[in-house]
Structure 1
Amino acid sequence: MDILYFYQYFGTDKGGWSTRVYEMCKRWVAEGHNVTVVTTPYDKSDIPKFKGISKEFEYSGIKVIVLNFPQTNKVSVFKRIVGFVKYMLLAMVYIFRLKFDVAIASSGPITVGVLGIFAKIFRRKKFVFEVRDLWPSGSVQLGMLKNKVAVKFCYWLEKTCYNYADLIVACSEGMKNDIHRRYGFKHIIVIPNASDVNLFSVKSEKSLPEEYQNKKIIIYTGSLGRIDECMQILEAAKKISPEQYPDVLFLIIGAGADKERMVNFIKQENLVNVKMLDLMPKKDLVVYLQNAYISLLTIKDIPILHTCSPNKIFDAFAASVPIVQTTYGWIDQLVNETKSGLTATINNADDLSQKILYYVNNEEIRNEHAKNAYQLALNVFNRDVCAKNMIEGIKGLFDKKDSKNIWIINQFAGNDKSGWGERHYFMSKYWKENGYNVTIVSGSFNHMFFNSVEVNSIFSYEDYNGTNFCWVKTPKYNPKSVRRFWSQIVFAYRVRKLNPKKLSSPDYIVVSSLPIFPILSGAYLKRKFKAKKLIFEIRDIWPLTLIEVGNISKYNPFAYTMGLIEKYGYKKSDHIVTLLPFAHKHIVSKGGTMEKIAYIPNGLEKGIVDIQNLSDEIQSLIPKNKFIIGYAGTHNKANALEFLIQAAIKLRDDERFFFVLVGDGYLKDNLIDMAQGLNNILFLNKIHKNQVYSLLNLFDIGYVGRNATKVYDYGVSGNKYFDYMLAKIPVLDSSNVKISPVDQAMNGIKVEAENSDAIVKAIIDFYNIPIEEKHLMIERGYQFLNDNHSTKILANKYMDIFKAS
């Protein structure tokens, strides 16, 4: 593989600056890859400025191109930015001149990311964006970048780099988490700065200068800049008495903007226990670090710096030296979990000195932590391991993996927190057990949700119990208004913009209707991302349901357009999943083929729902000495609840019976008006799904109603049937459905649709059924649910479709 690496601060093992890129590239060259690094002179590295525009040389098999725009932190921010831009513009030439398969742009500065974007757009090469510093966040938080327009532009550029990158390489878990939290991107791997085990673990042939021998050296190495806040080291040294601890010596090796101030402070305070040396090549640093007792890491108290991945800690680990550090990010967690160091309160000289003295006074603990530090260097942060992991990540961009990523596009999908629409969430548990990665794309507003989702941007991402949710911002609506359909159109349009770098590129796209519009987006996304399969799931037959139940003409422009979309979906999908047992007749009549169609109904199972107790207040409202006819669900036209109310009216004088209707819907007010004056009926607001089963246990029978319309000729798969079966109550089914779940399970009584007299008779019949027969009904329903409609069985049927050729 030919690799083009853009990094402005490249240095070799001859210098004292970070050698991360050099060490990576050296190992890749040894593996047989061709690596070219395009860099600039840097005053801390071993590459000096020179005369001319550019020069080339080879080192350890790496081809190095140096553009003569020297970099230094000692000039103004403006001059540094000018230098960044000059490098970027000239480096672009090499994008078009050189042969390469992948371009790696290592930031900061963020401008280097533009080179990767150009390589991606104009050369169609893979782009890897290496994030060594979270720029511009660091500069903004440090106050170096203040212009609002410039700040906004830089953040836009940062996001654009992430968006174009095929792979993001973060130098720490903290950086990865920050990028994901702010932008939602998931195509990120962590390759930390590494430990030079081969360099720092092999005993140095050099001897420590005599003045440092027999001392417990508290060492700091590296930058002495404003973000390092090294003055806190000197403040801590001031608090450790040379008379009481004559063997403790602070050794600071480095360079930076604060060095002069530190030198003056040492003289002013007469800190005889502190020595300072200039920055030196790593090979010269070995003897000092190997003889150190503790290594220090300090930072300025700025949030973004707590995500850092400084080389000094990895060098210390390799030399078997524990660290005392002041960050509160991933390093803090690391040293605490592995017992390889201690964390001191930032900018607290008392605490820093106490942590240092803890090691000084407890040599056994210090030595134990030193061993743990070395194990980290050897097994986790070894340069060989890090270089291998990064090149494997890059190779993965070219591999055709047998990935198993599922996108479920369902505007009304939810989870157990939402309290509605959990079908795909419940199935995802079993898909994940079989190695699938599941993302459910749903709308932010659903009038059926118990808990709506608040989103601040077009897409909001959530990991809920291992299932990824992408919440698409959709307009709020009244379920009776036309705005409800507008919400569906907005959802369908916006899902076309889904970003696979935030969700993982899809292999299987499932579009669940209703609404029907997203099948257009599903077909588009399949083409765009070359998904293996597009699956069209039909929960309700639209526009037939709208025509039959809503009494809308089939020539209505809206219904007619829906019909065209329906036919398009059947044609473009690879498979059609229907929840209705006889829907294949309709689907075939509209252009679908029998080979594509699979029947996967709704279902539930014990344990999938975390059942919670009802409040005492609700329990007190339901009579204990009555025969309870209950309904839990939506109060809309399709559920024919007006006929249940009519039955309640006819039984108003029979004190044996009491009716309970739980839920919300656009017809609820009408139903309440219809029941005015009745004392044998109770309306309850919608309760959380987890509490519904506790409520159902108070019912003697559960009601399911359907209108007498043609649409039900194709069967039903209402969750209410299965809710009642799971709760172990028999069902009163008022419908003309040819074969309903009650017919199949024989767990209730089925009567003619829209017939209140038949409902009344069935209620009385239920009341008179012997208890033994009632128990048999209940057990048949429960067994039918487990044998035919458990979520696991349904999820497996879906997986058969995923695997089908």
Structure 2
Amino acid sequence: MNILLINHYAGSDYHGMEFRPYYMAREWVNMGHNVTILAADFSHLRKKNPNIKEDFEEEIIDGITYVWVKTPEYHGNGVGRIKNISTFMYKLRMSYKKVADKYKPNAVIASSTYPLDIYPAHRIAKRSKAKLFFEIHDLWPLTPMEIGGYSKSNPAIVLIQRAEDFAFKNCDKIISILPNADKHMEDRGFKTDNYVHVPNGIIVGEKKNTPIEETIERLQELKEQGYFLVGYTGNHSPANVLDTMLDAAKKTTDKNIKYILVGNGNVKDELIKYAKTNNITNVEFLEPVLKDNMDNVLQLLDICYIGLKKQNLFNYGVSPNKLFDYMMAARPVIYAVEASNDPVKDSNCGITVPAENPDAVVNAVMKIRNLSEEEKSKMGQNGNDYVLANHTYHGLAEKFLNALLP
């Protein structure tokens, strides 16, 4: 089968996130299928963007044909990003015949976070007489409405809502990372008999010899000094409400406990300033590491922390990659999330606490800290067992592929 996946932000092991399109595509290639990924050449999510000179320039990565579309660079979420998205959409629309005729897809997947790519995907599928699929990452425009406070009558929201409704109406299957997004489809007045849930996952057995980075050296020093480490790894964004973690650090009286934040993000400087202003001395901000080094980081943490803002949006579920990384590393988890699904509770790999509640975080830290080494190890192993049973990309790619088949 020829599979064409459109994902504006698609990355790879060589470029950085988003990783999901790459991992899915690599599995499909190994199963004997031809996979083409259409992506913009510039994304703020990647550590390294491809260097191309022409539009629709091909690059073969691990058997996957990447087709890079030239787009303008941007910073932040302002006009530059809108221009980047608009350029990508315009070029796909103007070149849909060329794409359809060259790659001859049997299945076309619109998979960008925003749903506007459904329009060129629909044109390509129609010309190729291919089946059309829509993959939900985040619910747009519900996400900017809930988190950003945008009105449903905002012109951009109206535009995105029309695109989402178009996808629900015209696709052969709706494939969602979120477990309960079918409820959103029902709220919009659409049937859900074509709905398939395929969550995020983990890669098994890919250990690489990666140079030790400064972040790991610092964590090793702290462990040698006898500290019990509570860590967060990933994007420092408003959605992760990391000030809750800092407030928990301030309320923690045990001086042998340190809170560690590994990564970057658009609120990292604010968080550092917040910690200094509030004299929170038992917290350290460390630089991000290469993806291949992440497990080395996680193995040095005693507890892994994840939190999200309180949002009605999470009534449709969540599927955070970092949670599955934590579980794969067999670390006890503190899950400060209020959502319709709870993998931590389901697997008994940690403690779930109310969102945005630093006192509850402190209590959970102390409860896990006071467990025996055997009990902590068992808790972590529960998470590892759970992701191996439910979230390997090989199994998820098979489930996704079954949805694509007639």
- Counting only pairs closer than 5 Å after superposition, residues 657-696 of structure 1 correspond to structure 2 as 657-676=257-276, 677-696=279-298
In structure 1, what is the Cα distance between the partners aligned to 2:147 and 2:287? 25
Mapped to 2, the partners of 1:616 and 1:449 lie a distance apart of 19
Per-residue Cα deviation, 1:507-563 (whole angstroms, up to 9, x for no partner): 1111113122111111111112222x1110001001111111112222222112211
Letter in 2 for 1:490: T
Corresponding residue for 2:172? 574
- The change in CA–CA distance for 1:610 and 1:438 in structure 2 (over 3 A counts) is farther
Q: SS at the partner of 1:787?
A: helix
Any conservation in 2 of the 1:439–1:503 contact (CA below 8 Å)?
no
Partner of 1:15: none
Q: Does residue 412 of structure 1 match 2:9?
A: yes
Between the aligned partners of 2:312 and 2:123, the Cα distance in structure 1 is: 33
Cα deviation for residue 610 of structure 1 reads 4.2
Could you say what secondary structure the match of 2:144 adopts? helix
1:737 paired to 2:339: yes
1:614 CA drift (Å)? 5.2
* Structural mapping, 1:137-536, within 5 Å: 404-496=1-93, 497-498=95-96, 499-500=98-99, 504-531=103-130, 533-536=131-134
* Matched residue, 1:725: 327
Aligned residue identity for 1:797: K
2:383 to 778, 781, 799: 781
Q: 2:366 aligns with which of 758, 764, 772?
A: 764
Aligned-pair RMSD on alpha carbons?
A: 1.7
Aligned to 1:601: 199
Deviation at 1:500, TM superposition (A): 3.7
8 Å Cα contact 2:26/2:62 also seen in 1: no
- The alpha-carbon deviation at position 462 of structure 1 amounts to 0.5
Deviation at 1:613, TM superposition (A): 3.9
Q: How many residues align?
A: 398
Q: Which amino acid aligns with 1:666?
A: N
Shift of 1:417: 0.9
Task: Select the structure with the greater relative contact order (CA < 8 A; seq sep ≥ 6).
Answer: 2
Distance in 1 (CA, whole Å) between partners of 2:77 and 2:30 is 40
Sort the Cα spacing of 1:503 and 1:632 in 2 relative to 1 into closer, same or farther, 3 A.
Answer: farther
Conserved 8 A contact 1:747-1:781 = yes
Tell me if structure 2 keeps the 8 A contact 1:509–1:534: yes
Q: 694-703 or 536-545, which moves further after superposition?
A: 694-703
1:337-391 Cα deviation digits (max 9, x unpaired):
xxxxxxxxxxxxxxxxxxxxxxxxxxxxxxxxxxxxxxxxxxxxxxxxxxxxxxx
- Counterpart position of 1:551: 149
Alpha carbons 2:99, 2:124 under 8 Å: kept: no
Please tell me whether the aligned partners of residues 489 and 517 of structure 1 are also in contact (alpha carbons under 8 angstroms).
no
**Contact 1:717/1:741, CA 8 A, preserved across alignment:** no
Q: Distance in 2 between matches of 1:640 and 1:683?
A: 15
Match of 1:654 among 254, 257, 260: 254
Q: Does 1:644 align with 2:245?
A: yes
Give, in whole Å, the separation in 2 of the partners of 1:536 and 1:616.
39
Instruction: State the alpha-carbon separation in 2 of the partners of residues 606 and 599 from structure 1.
Output: 21
Partner secondary structure for residue 115 of structure 2: coil
Q: Deviations over 1:163-207 (max 9, x none)?
A: xxxxxxxxxxxxxxxxxxxxxxxxxxxxxxxxxxxxxxxxxxxxx
Q: What displacement does 1:447 show?
A: 1.3
Task: Name the structure 2 match of 1:634.
Answer: 235
* Other structure's SS at 2:304 match: strand
Give me the whole-angstrom Cα distance separating, in 2, the residues matched to 1:617 and 1:502. Answer: 49
Q: Structure 1: how far apart are the matches of 2:52 and 2:6?
A: 18
Paired residues of 2:2 and 2:106 also in contact (CA < 8 A): yes
CA distance in 2, matches of 1:685, 1:587: 40
Question: Given residue 661 of structure 1, which amino acid in structure 2 is its aligned partner?
Answer: L
User: Deviation at 1:592?
Assistant: 3.1
Deviation digits for residues 143-179 of structure 1 (CA, Å, limit 9, x no counterpart): xxxxxxxxxxxxxxxxxxxxxxxxxxxxxxxxxxxxx
Evaluate the alpha carbon distance shift between residue 792 and residue 492 of structure 1 in structure 2; reply closer, same or farther with a 3 A threshold: same
5+ residue gaps, structure 1, are 1-403
The question of whether the paired residues in 2 share the 8 Å contact of 1:732 and 1:750 is answered with yes
Q: Counterpart of 1:615 in 2: which secondary structure?
A: coil
CA–CA distance in structure 2, aligned partners of residues 446 and 663 of structure 1: 18
CA deviations over 1:399-418 (Å, ceiling 9, x no partner): xxxxx111110111111112
Secondary structure of 2:10's aligned partner: coil
| Residues 557-606 of structure 1: CA deviation (Å, up to 9, x unaligned) | 21122111111111111100011111100012224321110000000131
1:705 to 307, 326, 333: 307
* Distance (whole Å) between structure 2 residues aligned to residue 456 and residue 792 of structure 1: 34
Aligned partners of 1:411 and 1:515 also within 8 Å: no
What displacement does 1:467 show?
1.0
**Distance (Å, rounded) in 2 between the aligned partners of 1:503 and 1:467:** 15
Does structure 2 conserve the Cα–Cα contact (< 8 Å) formed by 1:731 and 1:742?
Answer: yes
Counterpart amino acid of 1:524? R
* TM-score normalised over the length of structure 2: 0.93
Structure 2: distance between partners of 1:538 and 1:419: 21
Query: Are residues 547 and 510 of structure 1, via their aligned partners in 2, closer, same or farther at CA, if it must alter by over 3 Å?
Result: same
> What is the distance in 2 between the residues matched to 1:486 and 1:731?
39
User: Of residues 176, 180, 183 in structure 2, which corresponds to 1:585?
Assistant: 183
SS of equivalent residue, structure 1 residue 419: coil
Cα deviation, residue 616, structure 1: 5.2
**Identity percentage over the alignment?**
35
Give secondary structure in 1 for the equivalent of 2:23: helix
Distance change >3 Å, CA 802–CA 479, structure 1 → 2: same
Structure 1 residue 646, shift from structure 2 partner: 1.4
DSSP-derived class of the 1:490 partner? helix
Residue type matched to 1:719 in 2? N
Question: Shift in Å at residue 768 of structure 1?
Answer: 0.9
Following TM superposition, by how much is the alpha carbon of 1:739 offset from its aligned partner in structure 2, in angstroms?
2.0
TM-score normalised by L of structure 1: 0.48
Cα gap change, 1:685 to 1:472, in 2 (>3 Å): farther
Q: Deviations over 1:692-720 (max 9, x none)?
A: 11111111111111111100011101101
Letter in 2 for 1:557: P
1:73 maps to none
More displaced 10-residue stretch of structure 1: 732-741 or 473-482: 473-482
Instruction: Tell me, in whole angstroms, the C-alpha distance in 1 between the residues paired with 2:112 and 2:346.
Output: 25
| Runs of 4+ with deviation above 4 angstroms | none
Is the partner of 1:528 in helix, strand or coil? helix
- Could you tell me whether the CA contact under 8 Å between 1:661 and 1:682 is conserved in 2? yes
Kept in 1, the 8 Å contact 2:2–2:35? The answer is yes
Separation in structure 2 between the aligned mates of residue 519 and residue 610 of structure 1, nearest angstrom: 37
Q: Distance in 1 between matches of 2:255 and 2:388?
A: 36
Contact map agreement 1:614 1:695 (CA 8 A) in 2: no
* Contact map agreement 2:100 2:124 (CA 8 A) in 1: no
1:291 alignment partner in structure 2? none
- Mapped partners of 1:675, 1:502: distance in 2: 56
Residue 746 (str. 1) matches residue 348 (str. 2): yes
